[in-house]
Structure formats: structure tokens, C-alpha cells
């Protein structure tokens, strides 16, 4: 059973702080990793993806990947109340001519004004 | 339209009724996925199409669930003899290619309530 684990939260941070969201995965064959943001009652929207070890930055967001530890994280700098949402980690791998994305349960982030 | 379109947005069905949920992916997107999302949970994989071929249906919870994409574009997820445990949001997502780093683009979902 391939699994993606996230702390469900809520994770509360003050406005302007750095929010750190973590995700672990069970399958060493996983090839790429995605972070989605989901507002209540809305569908997931892509924030960023990463597939090489190390850091990848996009504006206030940084994704970090450590394949040896099977760990991926998302840092949100200068957190804003509008960042309050559920953050979903998704892991993708290919097998036998097909591929699939497995999602974690999500971490609920609350940014306090 | 520019995004993935799903209809209806909301569906209320009495237990035992059949329902059909439609997904119109982004034009030209080869890959199409269906997910089920229960309240407070992450999306759970149901099935995957590459063009018109259904390559993976391992996530369909029972033989009451059936999906098709006959012309490699619009897809329909059908649930027969609905049960209360089928109540959830059904998300459709499409992706432009077949590579492992193609992100998914989600539709707005169909919220199914079985009474």
C-alpha cells in the first residue's frame, strides 16, 4: 500500500511568519511531488512541484525534497491570512505503462492576523 | 473554456438511484483522472484514462462504479444503485502529457449527496 502522510493540523502561525508543512511517503520509486492548496468548498489548485533533491523556490513558496529520507516539505514565507487553507501533498510514480498521483489527507493552515 | 469543467456541480440522489457525472477536460489533455474526496480527507484515486483507454481502475470502490471516455475527451463517471457511503465530492483532473512531472488540473467537482 503506497502511502502519503501529512499532519492534519491545524497549524496556526501568525501573519508574517514562516509556515512549514511536511509530508512523508512510503514508496522509494516515487518520482515527482506536488503541493496543492485547497480552500474550503473549492477544488485543489497547484502551488508547485519538485522532482529533484534540494530546494525549489517560487515567490513566497519553497518546496524541499529529500528522497533518501522520503520527505518533502513546503515553506510559506511572510504568511498571509489569505494563505489559510488546506495544503495537499501529492506523490506521483509510474509503473507498467501507467502512472498515478496519490494524495495525503492534507494539513489545515491557519494564518492569524 | 480554459479549465476542466464538471457537471452537475451538485447532485442529490435517493438511495438506489443511478447517477452520471460529467467531466470535460482541458482541450488536448491526454490524461484524465477521477478522484473521490470525502469531507476532511484528501482526494482518493478512482480511475485513470490515457486518451480513450482506461489504464487503471484499481481505485473504483465497487462494481457499481463505472467510468468511460469513449472519444478520448469528455468522460463520464457512473454510479449505479447509489448508497449513502457514496456521498462525497467527485473531482476530475486532467494533465497534458504522460510524463511523471505533469501536474494535474482539477475541475470544480461534483458534490453528490445520497439520501
pLDDT tens for each residue of chain B, 115 residues long? 589 999 999 999 999 999 999 999 999 999 999 999 999 999 999 999 999 999 999 999 999 999 999 999 999 999 999 999 999 999 999 998 766 678 999 999 999 999 9
**A88 interfacial to chain B (CB closer than 8 Å):** yes
**A3 interfacial to chain B (CB closer than 8 Å):** no
Closest partner CB to A104 (pick from B42, B56, B107): B42
C-alpha–C-alpha distance, residues A36 and A1, integer Å:
22
**A56 interfacial to chain B (CB closer than 8 Å):** no
Look at residue B1 in the predicted model and tell me its pLDDT: 53
**A94 interfacial to chain B (CB closer than 8 Å):** yes
Closest partner CB to A43 (pick from B50, B91, B103): B91
C-alpha–C-alpha distance, residues B3 and B27, integer Å:
9
Amino acid at each position: 500500500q503506497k502511502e502519503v502522510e501529512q499532519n492534519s493540523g491545524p497549524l496556526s502561525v501568525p501573519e508574517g511568519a514562516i509556515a512549514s508543512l511536511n509530508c512523508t511517503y512510503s514508496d522509494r520509486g516515487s518520482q515527482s511531488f506536488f503541493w496543492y492548496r485547497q480552500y474550503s468548498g473549492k477544488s485543489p489548485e497547484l502551488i508547485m512541484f519538485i522532482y529533484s533533491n534540494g530546494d525549489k523556490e517560487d515567490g513566497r513558496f519553497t518546496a524541499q525534497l529529500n528522497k533518501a529520507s522520503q520527505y518533502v516539505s513546503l515553506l510559506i514565507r511572510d504568511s498571509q491570512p489569505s494563505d489559510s487553507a488546506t495544503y495537499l501533498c501529492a506523490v506521483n510514480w509510474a509503473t507498467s505503462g501507467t502512472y498515478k498521483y496519490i494524495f495525503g489527507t492534507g494539513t489545515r493552515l491557519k494564518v492569524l492576523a | 473554456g480554459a479549465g476542466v469543467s464538471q457537471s452537475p456541480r451538485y447532485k442529490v440522489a435517493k438511495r438506489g438511484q443511478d447517477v452520471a457525472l460529467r467531466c470535460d477536460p482541458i482541450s488536448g489533455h491526454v490524461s484524465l483522472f477521477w478522484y473521490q474526496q470525502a469531507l476532511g480527507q484528501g482526494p482518493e484515486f478512482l480511475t485513470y484514462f490515457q486518451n480513450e483507454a482506461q489504464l487503471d481502475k484499481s481505485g473504483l470502490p465497487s462494481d457499481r462504479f463505472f467510468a468511460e471516455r469513449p472519444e478520448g475527451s469528455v468522460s463520464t463517471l457512473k454510479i449505479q444503485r447509489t448508497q449513502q457511503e457514496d456521498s462525497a465530492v467527485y473531482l476530475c483532473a486532467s494533465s497534458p502529457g504522460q510524463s511523471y512531472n505533469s501536474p494535474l488540473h482539477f475541475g470544480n467537482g461534483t458534490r453528490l449527496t445520497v439520501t
